[in-house]
Amino acid sequence: MTRIETRRHLSGSTLRWILGAIVLVDAPEPVRLGRLSQHRGLAATEAARLIAAQLPSGEKRARADFIIDNDGSPDLLRERAWQVFRKLMSRARARA
């Protein structure tokens, strides 16, 4: 399993070819803005600028094979990530 933070560097088809699947961890924009301000100490304008520099969430979601919504607690995120991991492992076993 490989983790790549792509921003705008690679296309979805290139990542899918390299990795076999694209997993997106996404949160609603207000949540992302709040986390950037709270955890990184960014001003709201700087946080908004960083988010604006990324692909829109809808575009990223359209390219992803799996989407993990990160709109809750760390425990909820962990459970959602494990669900996707189990699906990926099942896919890998089916191909072997």
Tokens of 7: 């921003």
The residues that bridge with 65 in the sheet, in sequence order, are none
The residues that bridge with 23 in the sheet, in sequence order, are 66
Higher pLDDT, 28 or 11: 28
Residue 19 is predicted with a pLDDT of 59
**pLDDT for 11 beyond 70:** no
For residue range 32-87, list pLDDT tens digits in order.
999 999 999 999 999 999 999 998 999 999 989 999 999 999 999 999 999 998 89
Residue 32 is predicted with a pLDDT of 94
C-alpha 79, offset from chain centre: 15
- Extended beta strands in the chain, E state: 23-26, 66-69
